[in-house]
């Protein structure tokens, strides 16, 4: 496996606090001593160099890749469940759930743009469940900005699957939509 302990060498206490919180969420162990990697805001020779608070999320996603032993995800899958105006978005890196988000229809384009810029990847797939009017609207919005978005038939997406052990039905549906978006 990749990294487990991350040494934090920063001067800014706000950045330190945010890094500790984000590293713990990602199942990485933050330390001020020595670690597998070093993240710093003053040492440009550190393994991961950040200049401000806005770069923390990108650094954490890079560390998540390194944790899996990779520099980039081979496949980044994004699944969007559209059962209500509040959408559920699931992000998978090489089949592992990295993040889940909730978004309104009017902000979905910006969220997808942020996700695409934040996670390093080789190939990307975006699937939208189009089983209702919200799904069709989201598909039309996203297909203008991202021509590689695919419609996914939601007829059996959220059914219980013995291979998918996710309790939240919206997250489970978005997960299955993301997986089905890879089909040609």
Q: Walk along the chain (184 residues) in steps of 10 and give the mean pLDDT of each run.
A: 82 91 87 87 88 86 82 91 88 88 92 89 92 89 92 68 73 86 76
pLDDT given at position 17: 92
Classify residue 172 as exposed, middle or buried by CB count within 10 Å of its CB (0-12, 13-18, 19+).
buried
Question: For position 180, what pLDDT does the model report?
Answer: 86
Whether the Cβ atoms of residue 118 and residue 167 lie closer than 8 Å to each other: no
100 Cβ contact list (under 8 Å, min separation 6): 88, 89, 90, 91, 171, 174
The reported pLDDT for the residue numbered 153 is 79
pLDDT at 45: 87
Please identify which residue in the block is written with the tokens 């020779």: 45
pLDDT at site 2: 67
Three-class secondary structure of residue 164 per DSSP: strand
pTM of the model: 0.80
pLDDT of residue 98: 85
Note the pLDDT of residue 159: 61
Q: Is 173 helix (H, G, I), strand (E, B) or coil?
A: helix
pLDDT of 157 reads: 53
Q: For residue 3, what pLDDT is reported?
A: 78
pLDDT at 112: 93
């Amino acid at each position: 496996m990749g990294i487990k302990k991350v040494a934090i060498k920063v001067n800014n206490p706000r950045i330190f606090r945010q890094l500790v919180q984000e590293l713990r969420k990602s199942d990485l162990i933050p330390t001020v001593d020595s670690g597998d990697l070093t993240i710093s805001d003053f040492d440009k020779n550190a393994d991961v160099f950040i200049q401000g608070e806005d770069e923390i999320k990108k650094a954490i996603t890079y560390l998540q890749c390194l944790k899996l032993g990779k520099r980039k995800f081979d496949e980044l899958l994004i699944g969007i469940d559209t059962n209500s105006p509040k959408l559920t978005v699931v992000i998978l890196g090489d089949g592992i759930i990295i993040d889940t988000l909730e978004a309104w229809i009017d902000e979905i384009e910006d969220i997808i743009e942020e996700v695409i810029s934040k996670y390093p990847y080789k190939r990307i797939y975006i699937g939208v469940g189009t089983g209702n009017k919200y799904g069709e609207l989201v598909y039309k919005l996203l297909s203008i900005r991202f021509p590689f978005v695919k419609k996914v038939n939601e007829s059996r997406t959220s059914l219980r699957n013995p291979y998918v052990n996710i309790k939240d039905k919206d997250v489970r549906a978005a997960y299955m939509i993301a997986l089905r978006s890879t089909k040609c």
